[in-house]
Structure 1
Amino acid sequence: MLACTAHAEGKISIAQQFGIGYLILDVVQDQHLIEKYGRQQGLDIKVEWRTISGATGMNEALLAGALDVVSAGVPPMLTVWDRTRGKQNVKAVAALGSMPNYLLTNNPNIKTLKDFTDKDRIAVPAAGVGFQSRTLQIETARVFGDSDYKRFDTISVSLPHPDATAALIAGHTEIDAHYSSPPFQYQALEHSNIHKVLSSYDTLGGHATFNVLYSTQKFHDENPKTYRAFYDALAEAARIINSDKNAAAAAYIRVEHSNLPLALVQKIVNDPEIEFTISPQRSFVYASELNRLGVLKNKATSWKDYFFPEAYVLPGS
């Protein structure tokens, strides 16, 4: 069998998005942990880091073979898992932590979902398909009925979190709502004209995984040492963060070249609502709800159906 040059053992390309939801990856990058665990496997692993906004671009790059591992919210991962079963067999590698996402608005008339009108515009990273849109669809189905779960897709606008935050704070654009994420929601809420309408934790019933890493069966199977080094690096990064969250906040600013005040980032990473763990939490809520709504054709029986086996050593849900 010919070796695959595109995924030669000892190379890995990883893409992340914007925000503190990717702190585990920032620490991996800052501390060169993949390279560290690669050396333990006898490999000199070359790591390529990319930043892409939105799940759509992530999924396209992964399926085209342009990236080995991508990151996005649980719903986009489940969508590509659903569509590639029996083909590329995309599955999750690990969770990147549990943190709430807030639906924010600068419109004082909006207190609940029922107050949104056709004149409002909700900014999300990937309209209709991303974490924020899918979470909103689940909540919308509960409020307005399953048949109307896409009610707010028509007023959703795809915009990266930094741009959406700036628009919401400025208050002079068509964007008057933003389904945000850390650290952007904390920045926005420092402004008195902005308030929270909803938290993703309200929809999911408590602490729940925000982002996950995922890859193809091909990369997983053809690069066992590289994959193991990557997984071990993620596990150590989570331990590093939880042992000194203030130091991890400084690493975030270094890697992301962030202009945020260190004190604000430290406040966020120490927020009790946020948990840095590679174990999936409440991801199965998405799997079951999105299958019920018809978004996912395949019905998962547990979280293990859409995670690679290396993750099974930890508890999950």
Structure 2
Amino acid sequence: MRKSISRLAASIGLGASLVIGSLVAPAAAQAEGKIRIAEQFGIVYLLLNVVRDQHLIEKHGKAQGIDIDVEWAQLSGGSAINDALLSGSVDIAGAGVGPLLTVWDRTRGRQNVKAVASLGNFPYYLVSSNPAVKTIADLSDKDRIAVPAVGVSVQSRLLQYAAAQQWGDEQYNRLDKYTLAVPHPDATAALLAGGTELNGHFSNPPFQDQALANKNVHIVLDSYDLLGPNSPTLLFATEKFRKDNPKTYRAFVDAIAEAATFAQNDKAAAADTYIRVTNAKIDRASLIKLIDNPRYEFTVTPKNTYKLAEFLYRVGAIKHKPASWKDYFFQDEHPLQGS
């Protein structure tokens, strides 16, 4: 008998184990010299791995004459990330453009959350082990798709975007009922092991590539087919943190820009960093080959985020329509030239 998803969650240690590291209790605004960063899973967070490994925030803080204490936490899902940011548990949030647009929309005129930078351009794949599912039109009650957060994660929003293209805007959430919130590492393990009701995963690298190494898993949907090359994952913060901690914030911005240059120009060293920081059990040569994929770009400049913003406004998922991508990105000393 196939396991239910509740048994699956218990067997792979969901719940409290989603937090790797420790989140500090909600507190008052931090003084200059401290920053708390929440990230998730996958190569898309490689720039943060580089920042952490090379102590780049501390380096750029010293250049401004301050010592910066950096704390790191790991969560799964945009909802958990947004909750941590709004509760004051973290200062910089790493999550998909979907969660960013949700929190930007809900905090306008209050916390005024906006994006700080992109983490790069990467294709995200919806993969399945069900041979009958060739396109999203083939999905049925027999299918269960893992996403980081149901309805709001960038994977969920991309699935909604695809559904709207297939069946019209009024049915944009038609496939939500087939999705389940499961962290990428656990979803990949469950998909490959079989024996559960989970037979699909809207993933990110390297997890989607690990799944595709199995001959029984195939691509159903490629995010680049929907939006073109795009920046699916961003870093964001509240306006208050940015204003109250200008030197710390600037050190972070400079650090992430330096990390992007490093990762884009030295893929082997970037792969070593990923393995070292995350303790990933992945073959080094395979990882280097993966991140050297010409479809990947490590950059802080956002690309093709506005199409999703327009869509979410059009279907009523957000109440405010941004005039352009610049409405939900902070424009700092060196303004980003994105889309």
| Length-normalised TM-score, structure 1 | 0.97
Which residue number corresponds to residue 13 of structure 2? Answer: none
Alignment match of 2:201 (pick from 143, 164, 178): 178
Tell me how far apart the structure 1 counterparts of residues 58 and 317 of structure 2 sit (CA, whole Å).
38
Cα deviation per residue 1:108-163 (whole Å; 9 max; x = unaligned)?
Answer: 00001110111210110101110100000011011011111111111100000011
Which residue number corresponds to residue 143 of structure 2? Answer: 120
Tell me how far apart the structure 2 counterparts of residues 99 and 312 of structure 1 sit (CA, whole Å).
24
Alignment match of 1:38 (pick from 57, 61, 73): 61
RMSD: 1.1
Which residue number corresponds to residue 240 of structure 1? Answer: 262
* 1:303 matches 2:325: yes
Name the aligned partner's letter for residue 283 of structure 2: P
* 1:213 matches 2:261: no
**Cα drift, residue 37 of structure 1:** 0.2
Which residue number corresponds to residue 107 of structure 1? Answer: 130
Tell me how far apart the structure 2 counterparts of residues 283 and 312 of structure 1 sit (CA, whole Å).
19
Tell me how far apart the structure 1 counterparts of residues 286 and 224 of structure 2 sit (CA, whole Å).
22
Contact 1:98 1:277 in 2 (8 A): yes
**Cα drift, residue 313 of structure 1:** 2.4
Tell me how far apart the structure 2 counterparts of residues 74 and 12 of structure 1 sit (CA, whole Å).
22
3-state SS of paired residue (2:72): strand
3-state SS of paired residue (1:167): helix
**Cα drift, residue 311 of structure 1:** 7.5
* Superposed counterparts of 1:246-257, under 5 Å: 246-257=268-279
Which residue number corresponds to residue 166 of structure 1? Answer: 189
Tell me how far apart the structure 1 counterparts of residues 240 and 203 of structure 2 sit (CA, whole Å).
33
Tell me how far apart the structure 2 counterparts of residues 213 and 13 of structure 1 sit (CA, whole Å).
12
Which residue number corresponds to residue 22 of structure 2? Answer: none
* 1:56 matches 2:79: yes
Cα deviation per residue 1:205-225 (whole Å; 9 max; x = unaligned)?
Answer: x11002100000100000000
Tell me how far apart the structure 1 counterparts of residues 206 and 194 of structure 2 sit (CA, whole Å).
19
Name whichever of 215-224 and 162-171 sits farther off: 162-171
**Cα drift, residue 263 of structure 1:** 1.2
Tell me how far apart the structure 2 counterparts of residues 288 and 53 of structure 1 sit (CA, whole Å).
26
Contact 1:94 1:311 in 2 (8 A): no
Alignment match of 1:281 (pick from 293, 296, 303): 303
Contact 2:28 2:88 in 1 (8 A): no
Which residue number corresponds to residue 293 of structure 2? Answer: 271
Tell me how far apart the structure 2 counterparts of residues 312 and 87 of structure 1 sit (CA, whole Å).
25
Cα gap change, 1:284 to 1:126, in 2 (>3 Å): same
* Superposed counterparts of 1:81-100, under 5 Å: 81-100=104-123
Contact 2:144 2:180 in 1 (8 A): yes
Tell me how far apart the structure 2 counterparts of residues 7 and 213 of structure 1 sit (CA, whole Å).
18
3-state SS of paired residue (2:85): helix
Tell me how far apart the structure 2 counterparts of residues 316 and 25 of structure 1 sit (CA, whole Å).
20
Tell me how far apart the structure 2 counterparts of residues 169 and 69 of structure 1 sit (CA, whole Å).
33
**Cα drift, residue 314 of structure 1:** 2.9
Where structure 2 has 5 or more consecutive residues not aligned to the other structure, the ranges are 1-26
Where structure 1 has 5 or more consecutive residues not aligned to the other structure, the ranges are none
Q: What is the number of equivalent residue pairs in this alignment?
A: 313
Tell me how far apart the structure 2 counterparts of residues 242 and 272 of structure 1 sit (CA, whole Å).
11
**Cα drift, residue 6 of structure 1:** 3.3
Name the aligned partner's letter for residue 159 of structure 1: V
Which residue number corresponds to residue 89 of structure 2? Answer: 66
Which residue number corresponds to residue 227 of structure 1? Answer: 249
Which residue number corresponds to residue 139 of structure 1? Answer: 162
Give the % identical residues: 55
Cα deviation per residue 1:204-251 (whole Å; 9 max; x = unaligned)?
Answer: 1x1100210000010000000000000000000011112211110000
Name the aligned partner's letter for residue 192 of structure 1: K
Q: Which runs of 4+ in 1 moved over 4 A?
A: none
Alignment match of 1:262 (pick from 264, 284, 288): 284
Name the aligned partner's letter for residue 192 of structure 2: I
Contact 1:104 1:198 in 2 (8 A): yes
| Length-normalised TM-score, structure 2 | 0.91
**Cα drift, residue 203 of structure 1:** 1.0
Tell me how far apart the structure 2 counterparts of residues 15 and 5 of structure 1 sit (CA, whole Å).
18
Contact 1:279 1:311 in 2 (8 A): no
